[in-house]
Structure 1
Amino acid sequence: MMPIWVALASTLTVLMTSFNGVPAKTVTDAERLFSDLMVGYSKMFRPVLNESNLVVVSTWLDLISIQDFNEVEEKISFTALLYLAWNDERLVWDPKDYGGIDNLYIDVSKIWVPQMMLTNNVNKNERLSEDWHTVRVNASGVCVYYIANVFTSSCNVDVTFYPWDTQTCSLDFMPANYGIDKMSLYPLNHKVQLTYYSPNGAWDLMDTSVTSEAYSFMVRFNVVLERKPRFAIVNVILPLIIMSALNILVFLIPTECGERISFCLTVLLSIAVFLTLVGDNLPKNSNPMSLFSYYLVSVLVISVAITLAVICSLHVYHRSEKQQPGGAWRAIAMCLGCYCVRRPGSESADRTNRSDEIKFARPENASDRSSPGMHSMPYSSHTHRGVILYRPTHSYGTLPSDRPEDKPLQKKEMDDSDSSVLEITWADVSVALDKVFFLFLFLLLITDTICFLMIIYNNVSF
């Protein structure tokens, strides 16, 4: 049983409404209004009394969120509200006759509504309205229809400056069942509404615009998106640059360890895997091509060049010592490393050549080995691996320069000493080549990376 105070409040409200001259809005009035409006009404005909008149439908879009953006398949999904407003000349009434009711909600299946379609839909083109939708109609005949849906449209993706790229996608709406002489679309705003917009984690919404196309027969809602590059920088670009720099360091690995080739091939395969991963995340088209793809190819070519350089260096390092390096190889090794490899015993020759004077000395037991009647003979002294050696430099009574037969021997010894000062081996040539390859490829990689980053960041295409 209804409480007494509730009944009293309801009665008081009705009395006050009647006293103020405002009629009460009851369900009976709404039912009577709907029945009167539907008398002789057919949704098959346009909402104009004169069939030669054009039906103008005003429209605007309220973007809620970016549901998904698939760059590979070139499609984007928006969650949005599409607003349609038009004037139905057959749905007009006087609110005073129906208890002051000035607006009414009617199902789409009961009255005429503009059947809209998304022309750049990636799926099957279907009408956007559903029978369970409702239309708000006011007393002057103005109808407002809200269509909330997830709109999936195609989008031409331009990844030239990936990951600093900017994409422009659109939603194109047009009537599905009328021609340009029967119906036209008019955008109420020049911008997409962002009343309920929720930001996206991968894209920033930079700008929006609304244009009328095809002689006001189609409305295009444009959305400009800019990619957030942090994810691609941290997960793709930085690892690639680090691996490329790591590949250059192969020339610092000693040749004797035997791990150079495996190291180069490992890094080369890693870069090839990165090339595959990036290619899977970009559209499969050739125009335009991403500049980042060209950079990946250039890094791959540099890695292949590093591998070939290491093979060449190892080949030179293990060449036979029977064939001595030529003049060009010796010049490269001397200019880059100044490697001076001594032959065994060359240290004694250097010490002999660097001495300022020839020291003459007699062994302690020289008198024991000398023949009777002979004077003591001068001896030359030099060391050989820490051992003091003595050998006669001239015969009794003469100086070395006084005996002609000793001059060829002295000349031969001087020639042997001069030829043993510097000896360039194939190992020295290999080390020198490592320096050349390291410097050249390092500068090439730095130049390639800097040029790529500058071109991408400044959005300058070649």
Structure 2
Amino acid sequence: MIKYLLILCFFNTVRTSEHYEGLLHEHLFKDYIVNVRPVSDYQNTVFVTLALSLRKILHLDEIHQSFKTTVNILLYWKDEMLTWNETEYHEISSLEFPFHKNIWTPDLMIYNALKTPGKIGMKGAFVRLYSNGQVFVWTQTNIDTACEIRTKKYPFDEQTCKIIFAKFISSDRKVMITPITDSIDMAEYVEVAEWDIIENQATTEVRPYNISKNVLENASEIETLNYTYITYTLKMKRSCRLCFHNVIIPVLVLAALNMLTFFVPCESGEKTSFPISIFLTLAVFLTMITQSLPESVDGVSYLSSYVTFQLAISAVTLFSAVISLHLHYKKGNSQVPKYVHSLVSVLKFGRSSVTTKSEQAKGDENCFGPHLNGSAEGNKTAKEVAPVNVSYTFDRLMFVLLLLCETITTVIFIEQIIN
């Protein structure tokens, strides 16, 4: 019997507390007007405090110049129309309920939002109301703001993006907004692999606006209204590990392989197909980079310029391979110019640059191509240049020149993107 009495008392207590909350809610919102500022004197100012907490960086879109994030927004102010005496309502000190446009809220907007009208997401907000009229509104929302993205030093770039809060129409004389701290709350931030946040801050700027001058043409006095803008700034540094392994290292490997074209024998049949393969691969890399990184406000990225240079080097290598094959398979009755004789005599890259006619007959089986016949009037022991040696010397000369260009350009590229 005692057991049933205790259970009955418990349910009566719960029902009574629920009854008092219902009565309190009905009493508070019976004559409440949501479109009027909650002040007893219309000359008073409503002070709204704003806190921003970053949850996650969703995406930094270089193409559309946008910054997508998930944030928690906390607003609190005092509503003089929503106060009660706790003793009259079973010592209830607070009420919690979801937001359904049933209380007054400040006309805040995200000033640099890409979607009109840029209102903060109050659809899934929750409200906590205290007996002294203090209102707390909490909401989590995804926002998409404009951000000027500079990709010249990609992938070692740093980006600075802003989230700006302002009011639609209420001036500071009616509604004043202030940040709770001078930075973004990072306590609940979920780190992403691509970006490292190196700095964040909150600043307040007051912008005057002369309303009477623009609205009332015959106004005797100019009325200046102040509007406060709260700017949350995030400075981020890109983590270059992913791009370094997926783009930079493959491009450097392709550049090294491109230099091996000058060591491919003419008889292999791969003298031109090998550099063509390298050229097409670099063209694919360049297409990928240009599609993901369009020209930004600070110009073309150093990485795009470097890959374009590698593409040009690959084209020069292909052109050199064609010339080398032409020299290698030059007909025996063709004359070699005198300056080629001098060049081959000076540039000896580990192989004899000159041959005699007596040695020419012995070397027919070992050389890589036919020899040139000398002049009919020349001496039988006169030294002449074989075409195979000319192509060999030409390959080594182009290898040294292009390797020098590659080294200088790579050093300049690394210096530019790191500094």
Among 354, 359, 367, the alignment partner of 1:340 is: 354
The reply on whether 1:442 has 2:370 as its aligned counterpart is no
Q: Residue by residue, what CA displacement relative to the aligned partner does 1:75-103 show, whole Å, maximum 9, x if unpaired?
A: 22211110111111122222222221111
| Contact 1:309–1:437 (CA under 8 A) maintained in structure 2 | yes
State the alpha-carbon separation in 1 of the partners of residues 109 and 16 from structure 2.
37
For 1:268, the aligned partner's letter is F
Unpaired runs of 5+ residues, structure 2, are: 208-226, 363-376
1:346–1:119 distance in 2 versus 1, CA, 3 Å: closer
- RMSD of Structure 2 on Structure 1 (CA): 2.8
Among 41, 64, 73, the alignment partner of 1:50 is: 41
| Contact 1:115–1:129 (CA under 8 A) maintained in structure 2 | no
Query: 1:134-283 alignment to 2 at 5 Å?
Result: 134-215=126-207, 217-283=228-294
1:38–1:346 distance in 2 versus 1, CA, 3 Å: closer
1:142–1:34 distance in 2 versus 1, CA, 3 Å: same
State the alpha-carbon separation in 2 of the partners of residues 157 and 233 from structure 1.
20
For 2:24, the aligned partner's letter is L
Aligned to 1:362: none
| Contact 2:182–2:203 (CA under 8 A) maintained in structure 1 | yes
- Other structure's SS at 1:260 match: coil
State the alpha-carbon separation in 2 of the partners of residues 286 and 320 from structure 1.
56
| Contact 1:272–1:300 (CA under 8 A) maintained in structure 2 | yes
The reply on whether 1:430 has 2:391 as its aligned counterpart is yes
Q: Cα distance, 1:284 vs. partner? A: 4.2
The reply on whether 1:112 has 2:104 as its aligned counterpart is yes
- Other structure's SS at 2:331 match: coil
State the alpha-carbon separation in 1 of the partners of residues 360 and 322 from structure 2.
33
Q: Residue by residue, what CA displacement relative to the aligned partner does 1:275-307 show, whole Å, maximum 9, x if unpaired?
A: 100111113435332111111121112112212
| Contact 2:121–2:140 (CA under 8 A) maintained in structure 1 | no
For 1:226, the aligned partner's letter is K
- The structure whose Rg is larger is 1
Aligned to 2:32: 41
State the alpha-carbon separation in 2 of the partners of residues 287 and 455 from structure 1.
14
Unpaired runs of 5+ residues, structure 1, are: 15-23, 349-414
1:109–1:286 distance in 2 versus 1, CA, 3 Å: closer
Comparing 317-326 with 150-159, greater Cα deviation is found at: 317-326
1:191–1:243 distance in 2 versus 1, CA, 3 Å: same
After TM superposition, the score normalised by the length of structure 1 is 0.76
State the alpha-carbon separation in 2 of the partners of residues 213 and 183 from structure 1.
15
Q: Residue by residue, what CA displacement relative to the aligned partner does 1:118-177 show, whole Å, maximum 9, x if unpaired?
A: 222222325335466432111221111112111121211111111011111122222235
Comparing 184-193 with 49-58, greater Cα deviation is found at: 49-58
State the alpha-carbon separation in 2 of the partners of residues 131 and 293 from structure 1.
44
The reply on whether 1:28 has 2:22 as its aligned counterpart is no
Query: 1:288-367 alignment to 2 at 5 Å?
Result: 288-337=299-348, 338-344=352-358
For 2:162, the aligned partner's letter is S
- Other structure's SS at 2:383 match: coil
State the alpha-carbon separation in 2 of the partners of residues 129 and 422 from structure 1.
88
Q: Cα distance, 1:264 vs. partner? A: 1.6
State the alpha-carbon separation in 1 of the partners of residues 316 and 323 from structure 2.
10
Aligned to 1:67: 58
How many residues align structurally? Answer: 381
Q: Cα distance, 1:251 vs. partner? A: 0.7
| Contact 2:150–2:297 (CA under 8 A) maintained in structure 1 | no
Q: Cα distance, 1:38 vs. partner? A: 2.5
State the alpha-carbon separation in 2 of the partners of residues 43 and 8 from structure 1.
40
1:151–1:347 distance in 2 versus 1, CA, 3 Å: closer
Percent of aligned positions that are identical: 25
Q: Cα distance, 1:8 vs. partner? A: 8.4
Aligned to 1:83: 74
For 1:326, the aligned partner's letter is P
Aligned to 1:351: none
Query: 1:382-401 alignment to 2 at 5 Å?
Result: none
Comparing 116-125 with 244-253, greater Cα deviation is found at: 116-125
- Other structure's SS at 1:26 match: helix
Q: Cα distance, 1:436 vs. partner? A: 0.5
- Other structure's SS at 1:217 match: strand
Aligned to 1:398: none
Comparing 37-46 with 236-245, greater Cα deviation is found at: 37-46
Q: Residue by residue, what CA displacement relative to the aligned partner does 1:30-57 show, whole Å, maximum 9, x if unpaired?
A: 2232233224321111111222222221
Q: Cα distance, 1:183 vs. partner? A: 1.8
| Contact 1:116–1:129 (CA under 8 A) maintained in structure 2 | no
The reply on whether 1:452 has 2:413 as its aligned counterpart is yes
- Other structure's SS at 2:406 match: helix
State the alpha-carbon separation in 2 of the partners of residues 287 and 346 from structure 1.
61
- Other structure's SS at 1:192 match: coil
| Contact 2:151–2:298 (CA under 8 A) maintained in structure 1 | no
Q: Cα distance, 1:316 vs. partner? A: 2.7
- Other structure's SS at 2:272 match: helix
Aligned to 2:84: 93
For 1:263, the aligned partner's letter is F
After TM superposition, the score normalised by the length of structure 2 is 0.83
The reply on whether 1:125 has 2:117 as its aligned counterpart is yes
1:346–1:442 distance in 2 versus 1, CA, 3 Å: closer
1:346–1:36 distance in 2 versus 1, CA, 3 Å: closer
State the alpha-carbon separation in 2 of the partners of residues 2 and 91 from structure 1.
42
